[in-house]
Structure 1
């Protein structure tokens, strides 16, 4: 028999307000993001400091990617597409396994960073990207301004960056690379605030503890992970010091 008082407030039942649910949801989102970043960092460090593993990715004689190295470079994109477009069909466990696998492969594909750039500059850029990301995440979470229109502009900018990057693969223009990097920093700084606000609103509308909430937290973690990684890479292109 249920126990309740005269105000019809049920005892022994957890009651979450929208704000509580949103905070718990955002906490899960950032947990997934941090797990992914940590796994990527471990994989990047392992492959960059183990000569045998690194030579599986890049031929030491030609300095070019091996067949496996090429697959690893494009594999993260395949993982993102599978998770994003197959999200509704995937179970929570399957989505989690794919996300973990994606984080590991992404880390392996980024191992060249620790080979081409000095450790001090990589650390400095990582701390800078972390600070910028943190500030914009807080701004996106706390602001009362609707960033929907702003987010649409940032998405258009992202499409522009992708197209310009593809074109520059054939042009090999250093100047265009700098322009893309500066615009990219602005775009991913804006997207960080927009995505955090969007996730905050999603969290407020979900029933915490439901399976869909867990999957949405995982997808949110993937979104913020990509925002951070791309922001880090854009800053590294501009300020990283090569060996």
Structure 2
């Protein structure tokens, strides 16, 4: 892996590291090595969390325990446990040590893996894999857009949050209606909404760095940022899988 923090005053163009004065020679564009390090830490945590969840989900499903446990009332504990972790991390971050927040993040990824094991019981492995790579590609492109665009995405972010509330209400209604058409519409809108949130959250995390750098909360912001992008990725993947995946 390239060492992005090493000054390369003689190199220009894409991928060049900042020179000692923070400016890439020949371009006039200033890069912040601290911001790059901060965002890379967020992406590393997020990617590691997704990997952990995937491994746990696959092992739990292949062990045969998932089919047994998810057929009992215990499934509600497994399904709701990730939500409890999210609330605990979001509401208690100010009072927690960074190490505690990190442990909660890994715990969240583990229980999320248990919850997601059901997809291996419903969809074929090939469709899960193809949807995952499609989501990864889309996520990378959307996050790169959010990171590099100079246009404020705050308006779009507010609209996407409102849309998210709307599909949550629609999902609750469809529990009783059991409408396949409404479920398809929810899935399509879910992909669009979390695609938009991915770009907006990336830009927001980038701007957040400048407010938090040098503070005690900076380390916690990395974990919370990873949690945010993890949720964007996983939700986009699940909505995409629901209408593109091939069932067993």
Identify the TM-score tier after normalising by the shorter chain: 0.7 to 0.9
Contact in 2 for aligned 1:168/1:176 (Cα 8 Å):
yes
**Deviation of the 1:81 alpha carbon:** 0.9
Give 1:223 shift.
Answer: 0.2
Residue 205 of structure 1, CA deviation: 2.9
- Distance of aligned partners of 1:203 and 1:66 in 2 relative to their CA distance in 1, 3 Å threshold: same
Residues 140 and 194 of structure 1 are in contact (CA less than 8 Å); yes or no, is this contact kept in structure 2?
yes
Is 1:227 paired with 2:239? no
Which of 132, 157, 166 is equivalent to 1:126? Answer: 132
Counterparts of 2:107 and 2:155 in 1: how far apart (Å)?
A: 33
Paired with 2:146 and 2:82, the residues of 1 have a C-alpha distance of 27
Q: Which residue of structure 2 lines up, in the alignment, with residue 26 of structure 1?
A: 39
Q: What is the alpha-carbon distance in structure 2 between the residues aligned to residue 204 and residue 22 of structure 1?
A: 8
Residue of structure 2 aligned with 1:76, choices 82, 85, 91:
82
Correspondence for 2:141: 135
Query: 2-side partners of 1:161 and 1:32: how far apart?
Result: 28
After superposition, give the CA deviation of every residue in 1:79-98 in whole Å (9 maximum; x if it has no partner).
11111111111111111111
The yes-or-no answer on 1:236 pairing with 2:241 is yes
Which of 37, 40, 61 is the equivalent residue of 1:48?
61
**Secondary structure, aligned partner of 1:130:** helix
Partner of 1:180: 186
* DSSP-derived class of the 2:32 partner: helix
SS of the equivalent of 1:84 reads helix
Once the two structures are superposed, the pairs formed by residues 1-243 of structure 1 within 5 Å of their partners are 19-51=32-64, 53-58=65-70, 65-207=71-213, 210-243=215-248
Structure 1 segments of 4 or more deviating over 3 A? Answer: 14-18
* Aligned-residue offset at 1:15: 9.7
Pairwise CA distance, 1:166: 1.1
Shift of 1:204: 2.7
Q: Which has the higher contact order (CA 8 A, sep 6+)?
A: 1
Gaps of 5+ in 2: 1-19, 23-29
Shift of 1:21: 1.9
Give distance in 1, aligned partners of 2:187 and 2:38.
Answer: 32
Tell me the TM-score normalized by structure 2.
Answer: 0.85
Name the SS for the 2:38 alignment partner: helix
